[in-house]
Amino acid sequence: MSVNVTKDDTLKFRIDAVTADMMERARFHVKLDKSKFVRHSIREKAEAIIAEHEKTLFTKDDWYMFFDMLDNPSKPTERMKKAAEKYKDITASHAV
């Protein structure tokens, strides 16, 4: 999902007195103007929500299998070898 935002875009919202007071008290402690405080707060909350909803959860068995595969990798197949060679060819042509 992508949103086309410019520096001049604005966000207008209503705020109740209790929330406004809390914001002012919090802003005082971190020494930010309203705009920066709101942007920082929105970003912080958005990052937390995204992290919660987009994280991958593994079972205990998944973790054991994952680390076992790292510790004991299987031998590469012919298909894997071909893919590695193709990758080397592609990246070699873009080397600086």
Every domain of the chain and the residues it spans: 17-92
Tokens describing residue 84: 């590695």
pLDDT in tens, 37-78: 999 999 999 999 999 999 888 999 999 999 999 999 999 999
What predicted TM-score, i.e. pTM, was given to this entire model? 0.56
Question: Has residue 95 got a pLDDT over 70?
Answer: no
- Residue 11, helix vs strand vs coil: coil
The mean pLDDT value of the chain amounts to 91
Question: Has residue 96 got a pLDDT over 70?
Answer: no
Average pLDDT over residues 88-95: 83
Main-chain phi, psi angles of 74, to 5 degrees: -75, 160
CA distance 30 to 21: 15
